Amino acid sequence: MEVLADRSGDRGEAVLGRGIGTEAVKLLRDFGFQREGADAIFGCDIANYNLASLRVFQKAGFEVDEVVERPPGSKSRLSTGLIITRERCRQLIASKA
């Protein structure tokens, strides 16, 4: 097993840009559709300052469902909700075959 980051204060810089997050989201997406029979999967509310997480979900085929303004005093000004449907996932997989 490869060590991805140590616990001495490294905040994950050793794994950034390697596609690990995208692969994890794709695996969870596939599990939801194939094993759990979901018709759609919603992404979590992603804060407007967390563009890397937004991009991870988009690479896995999720599309923006809504952008919500956060209450005053919140850490983020906006949050984004994402969705992918079973049909969209099928189309993505078919286009890569």
Question: pLDDT confidence of 3, banded at 50, 70, 90?
Answer: very low
pLDDT (0 to 100) of residue 11: 60
- The pLDDT tens digits for 6-60 are 444 556 667 778 889 999 999 999 999 999 999 999 998 899 999 999 999 999 9
Domain-located, residue 6: no
The number of beta carbons lying within 10 Å of the beta carbon of residue 33 is 19
Domain-located, residue 2: no
Domain-located, residue 4: no
Is 25 buried (19+), middle (13-18) or exposed (0-12) by CB count in 10 A? buried
pLDDT (0 to 100) of residue 2: 47
Q: What is the CATH number of the domain that holds 64?
A: 3.40.630.30
- Total domains in the chain come to 1
- The pLDDT tens digits for 74-97 are 999 999 999 999 999 999 989 987
- The rounded Cα 19 to chain-centroid distance in angstroms is 11
